[in-house]
Amino acid sequence: MKILIAEDDPVSCRILTASLKKWGHDVVVTHNGNDAWRALHDQGAPPLAILDRMMPDVDGIEICRQLRREKTDTPVHVILLTSLNRREDLLEGLEAGADDYLTKPLDTHELRARLQSAARILELQESLRQRVHELEAAIAERKLAEEALRNLSLTDQLTGLYNYRGFLNLAEHHAKTSRRTQTRSLLIYADMDGLKEINDTLGHRAGSTAISAVADILRRTFRDCDILARLGGDEFAVLVPNIKQAASATLLERLEGNLRSYNKEADQEFTVALSIGAVEIDHEEVWHIEDQMARADEVMYREKRKKKGRLKVASKT
> Closer CB to another protein, residue 45 or residue 54?
54
- Of 2, 14, 131, 316, the one binding another protein by CB under 8 A: 14
Residue 54 engages another protein in binding (rule: CB under 8 A): yes
Distance set, CA 149 to CA 46, 135, 142, 155, 168 (Å): 45, 21, 10, 11, 18
Residue 312 engages another protein in binding (rule: CB under 8 A): no
> Closer CB to another protein, residue 102 or residue 175?
102
Binding mask 74-103 for another protein (x = CB under 8 A): ---------x-x------------------
> Closer CB to another protein, residue 102 or residue 211?
102
Q: Find residue 78's DSSP bridge partners.
A: 49
Q: Is 226 helix (H, G, I), strand (E, B) or coil?
A: coil
- Of 26, 41, 56, 70, the one binding another protein by CB under 8 A: 56
Considering only the C-alpha atoms of the chain, give the largest distance between any 2 of them, rounded to a whole number of Å.
105
Q: How far is the CB of 86 from another protein (least distance, A)?
A: 10
Burial level of 52, CB count in 10 A (0-12/13-18/19+)? buried
How many other β-carbons are positioned within 10 Å of the β-carbon of residue 161? 23
76 φ, ψ to 5°?
Answer: -70, 135
> Closer CB to another protein, residue 5 or residue 239?
5
Q: What is the DSSP string of 42-82?
A: STT--SEEEEES--SSS-HHHHHHHHHHS--SSPPEEEEEE
Query: Which among 13-21, 121-129, 285-293, 309-317 is the span making contact with another protein, rule CB under 8 A?
Result: 13-21
Q: How many residues contact another protein, by CB under 8 A?
A: 19
Residue 24 engages another protein in binding (rule: CB under 8 A): no
Residue 117 engages another protein in binding (rule: CB under 8 A): no
Distance set, CA 242 to CA 65, 131, 184, 185 (Å): 78, 59, 5, 5
> Closer CB to another protein, residue 29 or residue 247?
29
Chain residues that interact with another protein, rule: CB under 8 A: 8-12, 14-15, 18-19, 21-22, 54, 56, 83, 85, 104-106, 108
